[in-house]
Copies of this chain bind each other. A is one copy, B any other.
Amino acid sequence: MNTDTALTALAALAHPTRLEAFRLLVQHEPEGLSTGQLVDASGLTQSTFSTHLAVLAKAGLVKSEKRGRQFIQRAEIDALKGLMLFLAKDCCQGRAELCEPLLAELACC
C-alpha cells in the first residue's frame, strides 16, 4: 500500500453513504450483498449509489461478482488491512513506543 492507494481508500471511506455501505458489507462477510440491497439500505437513487459503489470498487475496498442478473458485492478485508497497516506505520516508523498502546487497544476486539 503506497501513499496514492491509501489516499484513494481514505477518500472512498470519507463519505457517509460509502462508509455505511462498506460497514454493511463487512458485517455480511463472506456472503456479501447484492447491489440492489445496498441501494435500498442507502436510501439514495440507484444511479447515485452506483457512482458511490464505483468509488469503493476503484479503491479496491469492494469486489463484485456477477450472479445471474445481479451483482454480489463483497468487502475486501485485505484492503482495509492494508490501509490500517499504512496508518499504523506512520506512528510506528522506528518508534514502537508510539504504536504499542495502539496495538494494545486493538487487541481487545
Query: Which interface class (under 10, 10 to 19, 20 to 34, 35 or more) fits A?
Result: 35 or more
Q: Which of A60-106 contact B (CB under 8 A)?
A: 75, 77, 80-81, 83-85, 87-93, 95-96, 98-99, 101-103, 105-106
Chain multiplicity (copies): 2
Q: Which residue on B lies nearest to A85, using beta carbons? A: B105
Q: How long is the Cα–Cα vector from A93 to B77 in the complex, in angstroms? A: 13
Stretch at the interface among A16-24, A31-39, A41-49: A16-24
Q: How long is the Cα–Cα vector from A83 to B6 in the complex, in angstroms? A: 14
With A10-B13, A105-B81 as given contacts, are A27 and B93 in contact (CB-CB < 8 Å)?
A: yes
Residues on A facing B (Cβ under 8 Å): 3, 6-7, 10-11, 13-16, 19-20, 22-23, 26-27, 29, 75, 77, 80-81, 83-85, 87-93, 95-96, 98-99, 101-103, 105-107, 109
